[in-house]
Amino acid sequence: MRLLDKYNRTSLIATCFIIIVAGFVYYFTISYILTGKVDKDLMVEENEIFDYVKLNGHLPQVFKSEDLKIKFQKIGNEKVVRKFSDTQYYNDLDSEMESGRSLVSAVNVGKQPYRIIITESKVETEELIRVIFIITLGIILVLLVFLLLVNRLLMRNLWQPFYSMLQQIKQFNLADQQVIAPLNASIDEFNDMNREVTAMSKRVTHDYIALKKFVENAAHELMTPVAVLNSKLDNLAQDNDITVHQSKLITELYGVIGKMTRLNKSMLLLARVENKLMPEQVEMEISEALREKLSEFQGLYQARGIVVEAHLQPCHVNMNRDLLTNLFNNLLANAMRHNHTGGKVIVDLDASGMRMSNTGKDTALDEEVIFQRFYKSSESEGTGLGLTLVKEICDLYGFQLSYHYAGQLHCFTIKFRA
């Protein structure tokens, strides 16, 4: 969930809770105030009755009223407790029961005590409470919606520097030697974060450039001693006095030097691809090139009893020819190197892409690491850069490279077009 949505949701829930609680408090407060007003009206009526009896010596005449009812009841020696209470009374004019507020009191007319029951209608009071509550609630809801909209716009503007910086981080690419651009925001925290991220990107870029130069220089420097070793071994191999054991050691050294040579070439090519230093690219039809490459590998496959199935259709891509050759070489070599004797390799090519499938281990490979540098299985004799080069070449031209395991086949798929 996005931070802004999380904040708005939490704010809305908290605001609604506060409004509900405040609404109940407001309702009962208004009800208490208006009920107190009714009680004052009842006390006014009570005092008028007391004054009338004191002045005239008898009870006042009771008139029919829609909102006020007064009853006098003779009582004996019983004690009357003066109290206010909510009640229901029958409205003669409307012929229905209505809610009211009553005051029970007592008065003596001569020596005869009377109970006084004064009841005033609360219909208008309750309607007034409802109207006030509805109007207030409506105003609060309008204000709430307005505040949410203003808050959303305000938060979006406040967080704009963060999203701008996040977009730069997403587009950050070491190969392009980019640096996070400085940010001039009105919020100190965003400026602090931008300064730290910018400094970090500069350090990472500097370290990456230094490491890349080291790899390039090391690969170049290795070429001379490897060539010298090859030359010395050639001279040693031509010596007629070497023993069988020495000949075996020389053969092993040739293998080691050959692996060093392949690793050196792969490192140089990888550096060139990452730096986008490849020559111009051309539009070409690649099915024939793939067919020729399969023919070159045919002898190696046959030596291990690997059966090759090829389904090749015309396909045009725009890329460097040498990189295309390297792409095919690494995929075909990988399919052979990680296969078993009597296995199978299936090559599919059409206008949208190609798929290289081969038998091998009965378990799927780890998709998270197979394209990483120098990753290889324990029994592999490769350099560990083959699939890394394939991945870098695909990334260079925007091809989609993926791996999956299905039907006891390890499948590498390249989508030339989405």
Convert the pLDDT of each residue in 339-397 to its tens digit. Answer: 889 899 999 999 889 999 999 888 888 777 777 765 555 455 555 677 888 888 888 88
Token pair of 293, please? 């490459």
The SS3 assignment for 316 reads strand
Query: Which pair of tokens denotes residue 37?
Result: 């007003």
**Region 91-98: what's the mean pLDDT?**
71
Q: What's the domain range around 394?
A: 282-415
Instruction: Check if the beta carbon of residue 298 is closer than 8 Å to that of residue 308.
Output: yes
- Are 146 and 43 in a shared domain? yes
pTM listed for this prediction: 0.45
Q: Is 168 part of a structural domain of the chain?
A: no
- What mean pLDDT is reported for the chain? 81
Q: Confirm whether 23 is domain-assigned.
A: yes
Looking at the structure, do residues 85 and 16 belong to the same domain, yes or no? yes
Q: What is the pLDDT of residue 378?
A: 46
Q: Picking from 9-23, 177-191, 210-224, 286-300, which range would have the lowest pLDDT averaged per residue?
A: 210-224
* 286 and 272 within one domain: no
Written as six digits, the tokens of 243 are: 């023993």
Top pLDDT among 43 and 326 is at: 43
Tens of pLDDT along 47-60? 998 998 888 888 88
Count other C-beta atoms under 10 Å from residue 226's C-beta. Answer: 16
Number of H helices, E strands in the chain: 8, 11
Are the C-beta atoms of 313 and 288 separated by less than 8 Å?
A: no
Let me know if residue 159 belongs to a domain. no
Distances (CA, A) of 38 to 115, 143, 244, 254: 20, 32, 123, 111
Number of domains in the chain: 3
Mark whether 150 and 7 lie in a shared domain: yes
The answer to whether the beta carbons of residues 204 and 186 sit under 8 Å apart is no
